[in-house]
Structure 1
Amino acid sequence: MTQHIRTESLGLPDVGGPAQPLLIVRDLKKHFPVRSGLMGKAEKVHAVDGVSFRIGKGETLGIVGESGCGKSTTTRLLLDLTRRDAGEIIFDGRGLGGGRDGISLKELRRGMQMVFQDSSTSLNPRARILDIVMFPLRAAGVDRTKARDRASMLLDRVGLHPQAFGHRFAHELSGGQRQRVNIARALATAPRLVILDEAVSALDKSVEADVLNLLADLKAEEGLTYLFISHDLGVVREVSDRVMVMYLGQIAEIGPAETIYDRPGHPYTRALLAAVPSLDPAKQIAEPPLKGDPPNPINPEPGCRFRARCPYAEGVCKAIDPAPVPVGEVEISCHMCNRASGHSQAADWLDALTKETADA
């Protein structure tokens, strides 16, 4: 019989019920100061620039985008591992730092945990595995005996028998085993949201499948909510209920995974998906669908961030930042998805999207 991991005395209660989003993020921003030029002019890298989204209880939100688009920085801002410049973070109806009725950072980190990409550097090389899983419990004030019992149960749940693995060090484990330790540690304080930042990207495909199956089982059994980041678009589609596509610190498109993968509305999303290699010879592409590198993120000019690489860019794309527009269940930040934007192809683009949806 499967043992339940959740401990009510550790986990945060469900305040608003299933209808209330577990996490709401509004206009999150992080600009890193840099110095450039001969005179050392102070400028800023717009790593995350006005990101807003929400995650429902029990769902998995996948985040995709090229390297440097702001995926990992966004997740670090959520846990205050990197201090945000602006924006709101609301966890189950309670704002972070929102006064007497808000949620403290300590409480937030009990309710939200992260599994990092590099399973080697995220584990203390001088600590034994059981002690690593026990650490967040001891930090939360759980006595040593109870912390040891819970850590042993968690190791067993992720497929690592505590008597066989508890006394070992991280370097004595395989990559897949180390990632299982990371998952057990993340679950120690009974979080409600687990952030998986490229958590399976460094694993072999067979090991990756085992870890993904473990994550799916844990989600179903414990009612967990996931924020899943990966460069592997196939994995993201498999595990996600909704997908958020990021480009240069902003959201290009967000909506149900099936809709975005089958009927992408943003030109960047289409290029990103078209770049995925296919085993079908008839679907091989002669030229890359996305050419060039993203523009410099230091003090970006007004307008659409994607315009320099977009084949449909017009004057309005250079002059005005595109606002997110609802197109069915998807929100798309593109002037072609707004009939009132002034883009010459807006009507045709939206009509084509509507037809694709009707034909689906």
Structure 2
Amino acid sequence: MNSLAPISPADRGGPAQPLLSARGLVKRFPLRGAFWSGKARHVHAVDGVSFDVAKGETLGIVGESGCGKSTTARLLARLLPADAGELVFDGEGVGTFGGIALREFRRKLQMVFQDSFASLNPRLPVVETIAYGPRVHGLPAAQALERARGLLARVGLEPAQIAYRYPHELSGGQRQRVNIARALAFEPRLLILDEAVAALDKSVQAQVLNLLQELKEERGLTYCFISHDLQVVQYLSDRVLVMYLGQVVEIGPVDALFRRPRHPYTAALLSAVPSMDPACRTERAPLAGDPPNPIAPPSGCRFRDRCPRAAAVCATRTPQLLPVGEGAQAACHLNDPASDHPQAVPPERAA
């Protein structure tokens, strides 16, 4: 089998069926010492997150540090057990009776992390690192090594020069290419890229992003791309999901969301993107203060303490994700005329 040939994975439900669906994901981390205080206390890392990832798309996930992006990624990959919620992969429940087994699910979903050095075994040559997973899953050793060499070449690394080097002998960009090759060794359908280019300088970052685009088209891949860099997200993504304090506040097509954000938090994030136009300088900080304490999130809208358009209803009622046009959804009382917010307008009339 040619490991570099375009992959046509079995498609159970056609293009209309999402490749991955998350429903009501919840993850809370207990605090040390809470037991002795007589009251259980938790960090609300992910709190009721639901979304779909369509086949062949790149879903960008953005938000401030601590908003739950990486925890969500680990829940999707089942690296952390969820306290509540479920995953459905191409119409099959993940790890449920009659659904897809975890072993098979983890072959179809792979993850690339931010720290390229910590992600690799320092005691193994890179070719052995790439071949290790397929060999454990039953591929003969010779075929696994052949596949690993082919993937090294595909990600732009010369096997004759790189194959038997150790991670400390490679640059950051080379190590991240090795991590991408290792993820592809399982012939997955979905890659979760958690800040995969954040630690690279801009020239290397551009090369890796172009490589990811090529691999997506070549192999029919689907991406979940997590990043703080909104310009990179805009370049790579088809849709964008915005998180704040463990919840989804907006999701929609990348062009519509960047052109016309429907949630004040999304607008603040976009206003912080550096501009080369002197006429578009940011003269005031787009957000004031720090995110609320995730141990005791505020009632109602979690963004209300930092929102310049907050009203009394924002403290008493939690906004729901509602359609706001152009295939987008936002969780803000401003988009719901029935919310009793004094500035609420129908989505079609929103500025």
Please give the TM-score of this superposition, normalised by the length of structure 1: 0.93
2:279 aligned with 1:310, yes or no?
no
**Structure 1 CA distance for aligned equivalents of residues 7 and 278 of structure 2:** 52
Q: Quick one: which amino acid aligns to residue 269 of structure 1?
A: T
**Structure 1 CA distance for aligned equivalents of residues 33 and 271 of structure 2:** 36
Verify the 8 A CA contact 1:152 1:166 in the aligned structure 2: yes
Q: Quick one: which amino acid aligns to residue 137 of structure 2?
A: A
What's the counterpart of residue 61 of structure 1?
59
**Structure 1 CA distance for aligned equivalents of residues 55 and 240 of structure 2:** 15
Q: Quick one: which amino acid aligns to residue 256 of structure 1?
A: P
2:193 aligned with 1:186, yes or no?
no
What's the counterpart of residue 4 of structure 2?
4
What's the counterpart of residue 278 of structure 2?
281
Verify the 8 A CA contact 1:117 1:200 in the aligned structure 2: yes
Compute the RMSD of aligned alpha carbons.
1.7
Q: 1:170 to 1:128 in 2, by over 3 A?
A: same
Q: CA deviation at 1:302?
A: 2.4
What's the counterpart of residue 211 of structure 2?
214
Q: Alignment partner of 1:42: what SS?
A: coil
Moved more, 279-288 or 120-129: 279-288
Q: 2:238 aligns with which of 238, 241, 246?
A: 241
What's the counterpart of residue 290 of structure 1?
287
What's the counterpart of residue 165 of structure 2?
168
Q: 1:201 aligns with which of 198, 202, 208?
A: 198
Matches within 5 A, 1:222-261: 222-261=219-258
Q: Percent identity?
A: 59
Please give the TM-score of this superposition, normalised by the length of structure 2: 0.96
Q: Quick one: which amino acid aligns to residue 322 of structure 2?
A: V
**Structure 2 CA distance for aligned equivalents of residues 228 and 186 of structure 1:** 14
What's the counterpart of residue 116 of structure 1?
113
Q: 1:99 aligns with which of 52, 74, 97?
A: 97
What's the counterpart of residue 344 of structure 1?
342
**Structure 2 CA distance for aligned equivalents of residues 293 and 92 of structure 1:** 39
Q: CA deviation at 1:88?
A: 1.1
What's the counterpart of residue 263 of structure 1?
260
Q: Quick one: which amino acid aligns to residue 56 of structure 1?
A: A
2:149 aligned with 1:144, yes or no?
no
**Structure 1 CA distance for aligned equivalents of residues 266 and 7 of structure 2:** 40
What's the counterpart of residue 10 of structure 2?
13
Moved more, 185-194 or 39-48: 39-48
Aligned residues, how many?
A: 348
Q: Quick one: which amino acid aligns to residue 62 of structure 2?
A: V
2:87 aligned with 1:89, yes or no?
yes
Q: Alignment partner of 1:106: what SS?
A: helix
**Structure 2 CA distance for aligned equivalents of residues 228 and 324 of structure 1:** 21
Q: Alignment partner of 2:10: what SS?
A: coil
Verify the 8 A CA contact 2:68 2:244 in the aligned structure 1: yes
CA deviation string 1:17-52 (max 9, x = no partner): 212110111111101111478947430111000000
**Structure 2 CA distance for aligned equivalents of residues 5 and 172 of structure 1:** 30
**Structure 1 CA distance for aligned equivalents of residues 296 and 23 of structure 2:** 21
Q: 1:87 to 1:5 in 2, by over 3 A?
A: farther
Q: CA deviation at 1:5?
A: 4.7
Q: Quick one: which amino acid aligns to residue 305 of structure 1?
A: R
Q: Alignment partner of 1:297: what SS?
A: coil
Q: Alignment partner of 2:144: what SS?
A: helix
Q: Alignment partner of 1:57: what SS?
A: coil
Q: Alignment partner of 1:194: what SS?
A: strand
Q: Alignment partner of 2:338: what SS?
A: coil
Q: Alignment partner of 1:212: what SS?
A: helix
What's the counterpart of residue 31 of structure 2?
34
Q: Alignment partner of 2:45: what SS?
A: strand
Q: Alignment partner of 1:210: what SS?
A: helix
**Structure 1 CA distance for aligned equivalents of residues 187 and 143 of structure 2:** 14
Q: Which runs of 4+ in 1 moved over 3 A?
A: 5-8, 35-41, 349-352
**Structure 2 CA distance for aligned equivalents of residues 55 and 39 of structure 1:** 41
Q: CA deviation at 1:6?
A: 5.4
Q: Alignment partner of 1:119: what SS?
A: coil
